[in-house]
Chains A and B, each alone.
Chain A
Amino acid sequence: QKEVEQDPGPLSVPEGAIVSLNCTYSNSAFQYFMWYRQYSRKGPELLMYTYSSGNKEDGRFTAQVDKSSKYISLFIRDSQPSDSATYLCAMSAGGGFKTIFGAGTRLFVKA
């Protein structure tokens, strides 16, 4: 079983839709949860991060962590064609040096 599971998609939605991207994990030691966005032929870039459980909002993006269920989500409101990219969840136990990445979900937002 992988430490981090993420549905690779692809996920195709119309412009303006609310998008929900999710990851599950098995390691209860993870404390830091991140979402990276990767455009085609580019390296991933940090989009959002949260520590422990709870929600964090940044503009149209909301990151949510439920440690009891070992489940994290990224919500995108009013999705735009420019949001079309691969979204990778990432997690770390802190103290150590390794960040574990999910496989990435490919998102297409159609105009």
Chain B
Amino acid sequence: EAQVTQNPRYLITVTGKKLTVTCSQNMNHEYMSWYRQDPGLGLRQIYYSMNVEVTDKGDVPEGYKVSRKEKRNFPLILESPSPNQTSLYFCASSLSGQGVGNTIYFGEGSWLTVV
């Protein structure tokens, strides 16, 4: 089954404690990205990756890091989480970044609370 798997699904952490949200896709997609979803603001892209070792900032990259060492994995790292990073996070993948055939597949989401 084609899927994007992210973990953990739910996490409460304290300010400043580094954490990593893992993401893995089994569709051999080149393009992967991270979004955060906040009430009234919709989905905002944090970082994206067009292929292995190729990453770039999205609209709200501050406070986040990513890496793409393997095609299937795209972890999101919060080096020093702050309360304003409390949000619902989605990992997503697509075959490529272009065109209408570019269906974006989302993971189930990770609820992160920073206290």
Pairwise interchain contact A101-B100, C-beta atoms closer than 8 A: no
Q: Which one of A45-53, A66-74, A75-83 is at the interface? A: A45-53
A104 to B108, CA, bound (A): 17
Q: How many B residues, CB 8 Å from partner?
A: 26
Q: Is B74 an interface residue (CB 8 A)?
A: no
Pair A98/B4 contact, Cβ less than 8 Å = no
Contacting A at CB under 8 A, from B54-106, are 58, 90, 92, 97-100, 102-104, 106
- Residues from chain B with a CB closer than 8 A to the CB of A6 are 42
A60 at the B interface (CB under 8 A): no
Nearest residue (CB) in B for A46 is: B103
Nearest-CB distance from B89 to chain A (Å)?
10
Pull 23 A–B residue pairs with CB atoms less than 8 Å apart, ordered by A: A6-B42, A41-B109, A43-B106, A43-B107, A44-B106, A46-B103, A49-B100, A49-B103, A88-B42, A90-B104, A92-B99, A94-B100, A95-B98, A96-B97, A96-B98, A97-B31, A97-B97, A98-B45, A98-B48, A99-B104, A101-B35, A101-B44, A103-B42
